[in-house]
Structure 1
Amino acid sequence: MGTSAGPAADARHQGPVRSGAPDGAGPVRGRHLVTRPEHAAPDPSAGPSPAGEIGRRPLDPDGELRELAGDCVHCGFCLPACPTYQLWGEEMDSPRGRIHLIIQLLDGAEGGEAAATHFDRCLGCMACVTACPSGVRYDRLIEAARTWTEERPAGPAGVAPLPPRSLRDRVIRRAIFETFPYPRRLRALTGPLRAAQRAGLDRLAGRSELAARLAPELVAALQVAPGRPATGRRNQAGRPDASARPGQRGRAGQAGLPERIPARGQRRAVVGMLTGCVQRVFFPHVNAATARVLAAEGCDVIVPRSQGCCGALSLHGGRRAEAARFARRAIAVFEAAGVDAVIVNSAGCGSAMKEYGELLADDPPWSARATALAGQVRDFSQFLAELGPAAPRSPLPITVAYHDACHLGHAQRITSQPRQLLAAIPGLTLAEIADGSICCGSAGIYNLVQPDAAAELGARKAAAVYGTGADLLVTANPGCSMQIATALDTRGTPLPAAHIAEVLDASIRALSPTTLTAR
């Protein structure tokens, strides 16, 4: 770049890329977003508080958040990539607008309910991180903002920057976070959920304006929960075995999987396998297919019996301390397993586990261990692409539409590997989904706590999937699979869905495409 060139657009501490007034968030009329209380009002001559103190509680004691927010040059590249900005066209529902709010809170302002709502509306899909030319770590910023609501400080020194949630919201979120990360508790709910579905209550509730107004989270749960039996056992044709009870466990391992599955042929690696929470309860057949494919590719697969939640839902939901507790347990379990890599077949879980080093950076007894474990974590597709194929693939004449899960494509930047694995299957045709980088609306617990926005995003994704003319939807995240399948059913164009591990498993075992589509 010559001396006559302007400042680099992605350089830290430099101004907006456009000349003139900063292209920041404009005023929002009729919305009370933030106030600057008297006890926190800064001295204009002193500039903004570097620690972002409110009362006596520093929000950003080491200045990290302010530095991250300062990387934003207001270019607006994030706007067309952001699903909520696409829905509403509201500046404060864009990453740029939310960063503007975060900066105000760091400067000592107190956010109102409207500000908290704008943070809650964010899916955390990280499409903006992919689109940003300045490399802004919006993921770190939005996770911090969510902790200001979820982990409210105690004592007189703890004046929070955002108002407390309503009692109703606190009860709903507590129920979610005390259920989903615990497979036994989640499994206990599958019976009532399926009984309600068989009785048609999900469709009835979906048509009821009263139910949608009084209990939208319950309506969403009834509609999104998969209706087929949750069993890891399958018959010779590859279909779920109806004789097995939902959630039935074997004597060892997770959901019927033995603790050690030996490699077929020459052993090439010893890997640990995360079975997950939602995956284990609702999609154990995906875990079974994952283990079979890894074994066929020459891996000894270790499935630790004592593993639990990885902490992904908690971390992405602003419950950082809770996520850290889950992370420590996962680290200890997989350290004891003595494996070369930890394989994860759920995009959100893999993304969270790769962040363990950052999550526990300020915990000296665990920081080095967390970084080491995070370095061993591999997404299923990522690992297979690195390992290279060993098992022969049989023809699988089928057209599939592959959906990029946000926490795989954006958070982990894994997009080419799944496509390479699918394209290598003889007879398989891969169809691309229009606007494939846009979130489907699942986003962890988003489709439960923001059901209207999630439903609209799901409808858009379903229309795009249907437009491919594919026989099968393929993805790498259980939440996406449930969300898109529900949206396809709602529009009257149902389409079977499968995990990429199931597709590879069918090809390696020379099964018919009907084992994937006849569901």
Structure 2
Amino acid sequence: MLHSIPTDKLGPLGEPMAKAVSACVHCGFCLSACPTYRELGQEMDTPRGRIVLMKEVLEGKMSFEAAQPHVDRCLGCLACEPACPSGVPYRDLISPFRALAAGKMKRGWLERLRRFLAAQTVPFPGRFRLAAWLGKHVPAPSMMKPMLELIPDELPPKQTWEECYPASGEKRARVALLLGCAQQVLDPDINTATIEVLTRNGVEVVIPRSQGCCGGLAWHTGDLEAARSFARQNLGAFPEDVDAILTNAAGCGSAMHEYHLVLRGTPDETRAEAFRHRVMDVSV
């Protein structure tokens, strides 16, 4: 798609955004793969439509506020990427655009409060567990109800994990596992089962104590500074002497694969590029 995006005025994320726009040929193969299009049936709520909207904003022909409702509805699931015959790297556009828009778009105070509460609880398991309990037992504002309805009535018991789990039998590999902030609270059995499957198959599992949230929530909502902070924390937490960095939560893996974008234009960009190539989903 032709464009006149002034990449030199958009900072380090300008170039990948412009390249993503250029790759789109407006064919529409992404429409059937997009869950918001299947639900809403509107062109502007498709990857193709959102690319046009973001292009117009980046060119200065449309306001951020005009595009915001449709961009906000994107789940960031990236189902459009494998459906695209042109190989549009949609991830190189949607999250960087949200990061750019965050400082230029006005939101109501209730929406800002909702985002603040989510950002200060979900990435931190202890806070999230407390907030989830409070949300189920204390009357909450109506703006929080859609999120609280996703939380089970009873949370599973808290679990903790050792720093290292030796392989059973002959050692075939050594990996580091990201525990996932929300997963530790909502379904910690997934981590325990992952460790058991790996060790039984001869894989030593390391659990870095200083690991944190993958940064996905911050990155996908446009909070670039918070996303960079989480990314840097994990760059320092995960050891170099492992064969892979594993995740068993798709959202976490997606976020860590984008650390090169999160830290683009910073002194940590090279480390982030190397880090993301070591990240693997445990089911792959």
TM-score (norm 1): 0.51
Amino acid at match of 1:373: F
CA contact (8 A) 1:52 1:107 kept: no
The answer for the alignment partner of 1:88 in structure 2 is 40
- How far, CA to CA, are the matches of 1:221 and 1:71 in structure 2? 35
Is residue 167 from structure 1 mapped to residue 109 from structure 2 by the alignment? yes
* Deviation string, structure 1 residues 229-251 (Cα, Å, up to 9, x no partner): 422xxxxxxxxxxxxxxx3xxxx
Aligned equivalent of 2:176, options 272, 281, 293:
272
1:60 shift after superposition: 5.9
Larger proportion of helix: 2
Q: Which residue of 2 aligns with 1:136?
A: 88
State the shift of 1:374 in Å: 1.5
Q: Distance in 2 between matches of 1:361 and 1:52?
A: 14
* Structure 2 residue 18 is the aligned partner of structure 1 residue 69: no
CA displacement at 1:361 relative to structure 2: 3.2
Instruction: Give the alignment partner of residue 235 of structure 2, picking from 327, 331, 339.
Output: 331
Which residue, out of 219, 223, 240, partners 2:145? 219
Within 5 Å, which residues of 2 pair with 1:20-419? Answer: 50-51=5-6, 58-59=9-10, 63-111=15-63, 113-150=65-102, 152=103, 160=104, 163-195=105-137, 215=142, 217-231=143-157, 247=158, 255-335=159-239, 338-364=241-267, 366-382=268-284
Counterpart residue identity of residue 227, structure 1: D
Percentage of matched positions with identical amino acids: 42
- Counterpart residue identity of residue 339, structure 1: V
SS in 2 for 1:310: coil
TM value normalised by structure 2: 0.90
> Matched residues in 1 for 2:232 and 2:51: separation?
30
Offset of residue 77 of structure 1: 1.2
Bigger Cα displacement from structure 2, 367-376 vs 262-271: 367-376
Paired with 1:371 and 1:293, the residues of 2 have a C-alpha distance of 29
Measured after TM superposition, the shift of residue 194 of structure 1 is 4.4
| Letter aligned with residue 282 of structure 2 | F
- 2: CA distance between counterparts of 1:181 and 1:358? 20
Please give the per-residue CA displacement for 1:31-84, whole angstroms capped at 9, x wherever unaligned: xxxxxxxxxxxxxxxxx754168xxxx236754423321221111112222222
- CA separation of 1:293 and 1:52: change in aligned 2, threshold 3 A: closer
Structure-2 separation of matches of 1:288 and 1:119: 36
Task: Confirm or deny: 8 A CA contact 1:327 1:356 kept in the other structure.
Answer: yes
**Which SS does the other structure have where 1:335 is aligned?**
coil
**CA spacing shift, 1:289–1:100, aligned 2, 3 Å:** same
Whether the 8 Å contact between 1:335 and 1:373 is mirrored in structure 2 is no
Equivalent residue of 1:343, what SS? strand
Runs of 4+ in 1 over 6 A off after TM superposition: none
**Could you tell me which amino acid in structure 2 is paired with residue 140 of structure 1?**
D
How far is 1:87 from its partner? 2.0
Structure 1 residue 352: deviation in Å? 1.2
Name the count of aligned residue pairs: 283
Local SS of the residue matching 2:31: coil
Deviations 1:351-409 (A, max 9, x none): 11122233323223x22222222122111111xxxxxxxxxxxxxxxxxxxxxxxxxxx
- Post-superposition shift, 1:186? 0.7
| Separation (CA, whole Å) in 2 of partners of 1:112 and 1:105 | 6
Aligned to 1:408: none
Letter in 2 for 1:183: P
Cα distance, 1:317 vs. partner?
1.8
Larger Rg: 1
Q: Distance in 2 between matches of 1:192 and 1:122?
A: 29
> RMSD across aligned C-alpha pairs, in angstroms?
2.3
Q: Which has the higher contact order (CA 8 A, sep 6+)?
A: 2
Contact 2:178 2:247 (C-alpha < 8 Å) held by counterparts: yes
Is the 1:181–1:309 Cα contact (8 Å) retained in structure 2?
yes
- Match for 1:362: what amino acid? G
Query: Compared with structure 1, are the counterparts of its residues 113 and 372 closer, same or farther at alpha carbon in structure 2 (3 Å cutoff)?
Result: closer
- Structure 1, unaligned runs of 5 or more: 1-11, 14-47, 153-159, 202-210, 232-246, 248-254, 383-519
Q: Cα 1:256–1:60, aligned 2, differ >3 Å: closer, same or farther?
A: closer
Note closer, same or farther for the CA distance 1:171–1:76 as it changes in structure 2 (3 Å cut). Answer: same
Equivalent residues of 1:79, 1:94 under 8 A apart: yes
Instruction: Kindly state the Cα deviation for residue 309 of structure 1 after the two structures are TM-superposed.
Output: 0.8
